[in-house]
Amino acid sequence: IPWIHLQQKSEMPKAMYTQWYAENSCIRNYYSEEEFEELFSKFDLNNNSILDQHELARLNMYLLLNIPRIGLKSLGDKEYGGIPPAIFRLKSLEQLNLSYTAITMVPYQAKNLLELTSLNLGHCPLLEGISGDVGLLPNLKSINLNNCPSLETPPQDIVGRGVASVKAFLKRIAGGFIECHRTKLMFIGLGQAGKTTLLNALRSEKKKTEKTEDVELTDGIDIIPWIVPVEHEGRKIDITYSCWDFAGQTVYYNTHQFFLSKQAVYVLLWNMRMGFEHAGLDFWLSSVACHCPNAPVIIVGTQLDQIPMPDMPEAELMEKYPQIKKFCYVSSTAGTNIAELEQTLTNVTMHHCSQMTMKIPKVWLSFENGILKERNEGRNIMEWSLLRKCAINNGIYDDSDIRLAVDFLNDLGTVQHFDTEFLRDRVVINPQWIVDVMAKVVSVNEKAIKENLGRFYHSYIPEIWKDYDKSLHQWMLKLTETFDLTFPLPGEKEKYNIVPCLLPETKPLNLPWPYLSEEEEIREKTILYKFAYLPSGLFNRAQARLFSQGFTDHDLLQFLWKKGSILKKNQHYALVRQLNDYEMIVSVQGPRPKNVLDLIHETLTTLISEAFDGVHYDYFIQCPDCVEKEGTKEPFLFKAELISRAYSVNAPFLQCTKFFHTVSIGELLRIMPDNKETEFDAQMQESISTLEEISRNIAQDVAILYCNGDLPSLPFNSSTTAENAAGMTVDPRNIHEDLKKAGYKW
pLDDT at site 691: 56
Other Cβ atoms less than 10 A from the Cβ of 222: the count is 18
Residues 6+ apart with CB under 8 A from 730: 722, 738
Residues 544 and 680 grouped into a single domain: yes
If pLDDT is split at 50, 70 and 90, which confidence band does 256 have?
A: low
pLDDT > 70? residue 77: yes
3-state SS of 664-692 is EHHHHHHHCCCCHHHHHHHHHHHHHHHHH
Structural domain total, the chain: 6
Q: Which of 150, 175, 200 is the last residue of a domain?
A: 175
Residues 413 and 542 grouped into a single domain: no
Residues 213 and 276 grouped into a single domain: yes
Other Cβ atoms less than 10 A from the Cβ of 466: the count is 9
Q: Kindly tell me the sign of the dihedral angle through the C-alpha atoms of 25, 31, 32, 33.
A: negative
3-state helix, strand, coil in the chain (%, to 5): 40, 20, 40
Task: Report DSSP letters for 128-180, one per residue.
Answer: -EE-GGGGG-TT--EEE-TT-TT--BS-HHHHTT-HHHHHHHHHHHHT-EEE-
Other Cβ atoms less than 10 A from the Cβ of 740: the count is 11
Quote the CA–CA distance of 654 and 587 in Å, as a whole number: 23
Is there a domain that residue 28 lies in?
yes
pLDDT tens by residue, 19-34 = 899 988 888 888 999 9
pLDDT at site 680: 46
Residue 488 β-bridge partners: 497
pLDDT at site 698: 60
HSE toward the beta carbon, residue 440, CA cutoff 13 A? 21
pLDDT > 70? residue 519: no
Residues 244 and 347 grouped into a single domain: yes
pLDDT tens by residue, 182-235 = 888 999 888 778 888 999 999 998 888 876 555 565 556 788 889 999 988 788
For all residues of the chain together, what is the average pLDDT?
84
Q: Are 686 and 670 in contact (CB under 8 A)?
A: yes
Residue 509 DSSP one-character state: T
Residues 6+ apart with CB under 8 A from 719: 725
pLDDT tens by residue, 652-689 = 999 999 999 999 998 999 888 875 544 445 455 555 55
For residue 363, CA distances in Å to 155, 177, 391, 430, 606 come to 17, 8, 9, 20, 37
Radius of gyration for the chain, computed over Cα atoms and rounded to the nearest angstrom: 32
**198 CB-contact burial (10 Å; exposed 0-12 / middle 13-18 / buried 19+):** buried
Residues 6+ apart with CB under 8 A from 288: 188, 260, 266, 268, 295, 297, 323
Amino acid, single-letter form, for residue 520: E
For residues 443-466, average pLDDT: 82
Most confident of 5-14, 230-239, 635-644: 635-644
Is there a domain that residue 88 lies in?
no
Q: What CATH number does residue 593 fall under?
A: 3.30.310.200
Amino acid, single-letter form, for residue 728: M
Q: Are 338 and 208 in contact (CB under 8 A)?
A: yes
The pLDDT > 90 percentage for the chain reads 32
36 SS3 class? helix
Residues 678 and 613 grouped into a single domain: yes
State which residues form the domain around 640.
Answer: 523-694
Q: Are 342 and 389 in contact (CB under 8 A)?
A: no
Is there a domain that residue 240 lies in?
yes
pLDDT > 80? residue 506: yes
If pLDDT is split at 50, 70 and 90, which confidence band does 268 have?
A: very high
If pLDDT is split at 50, 70 and 90, which confidence band does 694 have?
A: low
List the single range of 218-222, 284-288, 602-606, 713-717 with lowest mean pLDDT: 713-717
Residues 718 and 736 grouped into a single domain: yes
For residues 392-412, average pLDDT: 87
Is there a domain that residue 84 lies in?
no
Strands of 548-582 (E only): list them: 560-561, 564-569, 572-578
Q: Are 118 and 134 in contact (CB under 8 A)?
A: no
For residues 633-658, average pLDDT: 90
Quote the CA–CA distance of 255 and 436 in Å, as a whole number: 10
Is there a domain that residue 147 lies in?
yes
Q: What CATH number does residue 165 fall under?
A: 3.80.10.10
Pairing state between β 324-329 and 297-302:
parallel
Q: Which of 155, 175, 195 is the last residue of a domain?
A: 175
Q: What CATH number does residue 370 fall under?
A: 1.10.10.10
Q: Are 341 and 300 in contact (CB under 8 A)?
A: yes
What are the residue ranges of helices labelled H in 24-126? Answer: 25-30, 33-43, 53-66
pLDDT tens by residue, 282-323 = 888 888 888 888 899 999 999 888 888 888 889 999 998 999
Is there a domain that residue 226 lies in?
yes
Residues 158 and 194 grouped into a single domain: no
Between 350 and 551, the higher pLDDT residue: 350
For residues 268-287, average pLDDT: 84
Nearest residue to 14 (alpha-carbon basis) of 39, 3, 1: 39
Quote the CA–CA distance of 367 and 392 in Å, as a whole number: 9
701 SS3 class? coil
Pseudo-torsion of CA 50, 55, 61, 65, nearest 10°?
-70
**196 CB-contact burial (10 Å; exposed 0-12 / middle 13-18 / buried 19+):** buried
Between 558 and 258, the higher pLDDT residue: 558
pLDDT > 70? residue 145: yes
Q: Which of 356, 390, 412 is the last residue of a domain?
A: 356
Is there a domain that residue 511 lies in?
no
Residues 686 and 730 grouped into a single domain: no
Most confident of 155-159, 494-498, 528-532, 716-720: 528-532
Residues 409 and 348 grouped into a single domain: no
Q: Are 535 and 257 in contact (CB under 8 A)?
A: yes
Task: Report DSSP letters for 425-491, one per residue.
Answer: TEEES-HHHHHHHHHHHH-TT--HHHHTTTEEEGGGHHHHTTTS-GGGHHHHHHHHHHTTS-EE-TT
Quote the CA–CA distance of 169 and 396 in Å, as a whole number: 11
Residues 291 and 341 grouped into a single domain: yes
pLDDT > 60? residue 693: no
For residues 616-633, average pLDDT: 90
HSE toward the beta carbon, residue 470, CA cutoff 13 A? 5
The pLDDT > 70 percentage for the chain reads 88
pLDDT at site 158: 85
Residue 360 β-bridge partners: 178
If pLDDT is split at 50, 70 and 90, which confidence band does 690 have?
A: low
Between 357 and 307, the higher pLDDT residue: 307
If pLDDT is split at 50, 70 and 90, which confidence band does 490 have?
A: low
Quote the CA–CA distance of 198 and 643 in Å, as a whole number: 49
* pTM higher than the cut 0.85: no
Residues 276 and 400 grouped into a single domain: no
Residues 6+ apart with CB under 8 A from 407: 157, 417
Residues counted in the chain: 746
Residue 666 φ/ψ, nearest 5 degrees: -60, -40
Residue 728 DSSP one-character state: S
Residues 129 and 160 grouped into a single domain: yes
For residues 425-452, average pLDDT: 80
